[in-house]
Amino acid sequence: DIQMTQSPSTLSASVGDRVTITCRASQSISSWLAWYQQKPGKAPNLLIYKASSLESGVPSRFSGSGSGTEFTLTISSLQPDDFATYYCQQYNSYPITFGQGTRLEIK
């Protein structure tokens, strides 16, 4: 299985901050990476697919980059609605695997 490791596990930030979450794969996954946002009691919401493609309806302050084994999700200017948990997920090979999550909390 491909292991996905996110860092940090918890991130404290303020409204207006620029934040970056990193996701590393245990082997190359090309650009087959997705990012999700999950709020308590809700299903995950797709933000980014194929490492850098913005899902329709997702605000442009979200962006993704990377390929191979290292990827980043950047939020350019945090909004109050962005405080949530973020997961990366690889779909280069089966089984599909997720990172352990990064909790973004208000400083």
Contact set with another protein (CB under 8 A): 1, 32, 34, 36, 42-46, 49-50, 55, 87, 89, 91, 94-101
- Closer by beta carbon to another protein, 33 or else 78: 33
Query: CA 87, CA 107: separation in Å to the nearest integer?
Result: 20
What 3-state DSSP class applies to 14? coil
Q: Which two tokens stand for residue 57?
A: 């309806």
Question: What DSSP assignment string belongs to 56-106?
Answer: TT--TTEEEEEETTEEEEEESS--GGG-SEEEEEE-SSSSPEE---EEEEE
Q: Work out how close the CB of 13 gets to another protein at its nearest, in angstroms, rounded to a whole number.
A: 21
- Closer by beta carbon to another protein, 12 or else 30: 30
Distance of CA 34 to the CA centre of its chain: 7
- Closer by beta carbon to another protein, 3 or else 77: 3
Q: Work out how close the CB of 14 gets to another protein at its nearest, in angstroms, rounded to a whole number.
A: 26
Q: Work out how close the CB of 25 gets to another protein at its nearest, in angstroms, rounded to a whole number.
A: 14
Q: Work out how close the CB of 34 gets to another protein at its nearest, in angstroms, rounded to a whole number.
A: 4
